[in-house]
Amino acid sequence: MTTVSVLGGGAWGTALALVAARAENKTCLWMRDPNSAEQIKKSRENQKALPGIILPEDLTITASLKDALSADIILLAIPAQTVRTFVQHIKKDIPKNSYLVICSKGIEIGTGLLMSEIIYEILPEISVSVLSGPTFARDVAIGQPTAATLSTREIESSRWLASTLSSQNFRVYPSNDIVGVEISGALKNVIAIAAGIATARGYGDSARASLITRGLAEITRLGMAKGAHPETFLGPSGVGDIVLTCTSNQSRNMSLGIAIGHNNIVTEAMLKACLLTEGVFTAKAAIELASILEVELPICMGINKILHHQSSIDGEIVALLSRPLKTELHSH
């Protein structure tokens, strides 16, 4: 039987542990806090992150990293900006033949690196994959039908990992375009903040559809500049994820956009409360990366200015609406 460990006891980590267990793998969920691990072990419920969802008895809960790291497949479900420090911390203990699957969405601030690039830098010899797609933790945890993309450099590894983690209601599609999957997963959170602001300002569904479409164009431009495959942006991790995140209040990023749009201001307290709202960090990191690659990202640029440079929301909306109309063709 394949052993799977999920590192990170938040809502998404807990949902992924349920996914792995339902796919009949021997599964372990690692939590940083020993008290939380003990409490969940007793109650069989992650009351803080996913209240009301009972965890099966055969799902191991632990606060011991050493125990969790001795697995065939390790799913990394921690905030994107903490990935470098965490992987540095565990690199001595990760078995060389394990498969490390990144389940965090983001770009590193200051370096413009994707999560996979950080891990290749620290652990060049390990197999690195990315799991991403239109998946809210609660939907996945209660067993709603959902789909995701799993991408590894070697397509055979992707196929094996995808089939090992798939079950009837959680369908995983294999891919070998790590860059496209990561860029899609990261940038759609920034577009979702924009969609939230537009919703709060009373712009209708037509405006949101335009935002999603132009947002997908930005994601595609940045991805292609980094060597992604264009078809990735039409799959679950591209169109699927941006549509979900920009149309539901379950999305942390869209909810933040709505709060900003209503309050008309971004406060320090708002940003401090957003440690798990990855779009806040990605807005900054995406602009850094776009600058290196000489790619235009007008929506991401506007959101970055609103979040990190106290720019006027109305001013940024006017700037977006007054951009020159370009031919609707992607140049390759």
Task: Please say whether the beta carbons of 42 and 65 come within 8 A.
Answer: no
List b or e across 49-62, with b for residues whose CB sees 16 or more CB atoms inside 10 angstroms: bbeebebeeebbbb
Q: For residue 42, indicate whether it is catalytic.
A: no
Q: Do the beta carbons of residue 219 and residue 299 sit within 8 Å? A: no
User: Do 40 and 61 contact (CB within 8 A), yes or no?
Assistant: yes
Cα–Cα distance measured from residue 12 to residue 16, given in angstroms and rounded to the nearest whole number: 6
End-to-end CA distance of the chain: 45
CB atoms within 10 A of CB 23: 18
DSSP 240: I
Cα 154 → chain centroid: 21
Nearest CA-CA partner of 287 in 125, 110, 83: 110
Strand partners, 89: none
Identify the active-site residue in 26, 66, 188, 284.
Answer: 188
Residue with token string 């929301």: 313
Tokens of 116: 């996979």
d(C-alpha 313, C-alpha 323), whole Å = 16
Q: Cβ(321)–Cβ(315) under 8 Å? A: no
Name the DSSP letter for residue 82.
G
Please say whether the beta carbons of 166 and 149 come within 8 A.
no
Q: Give the active site residues.
A: 188
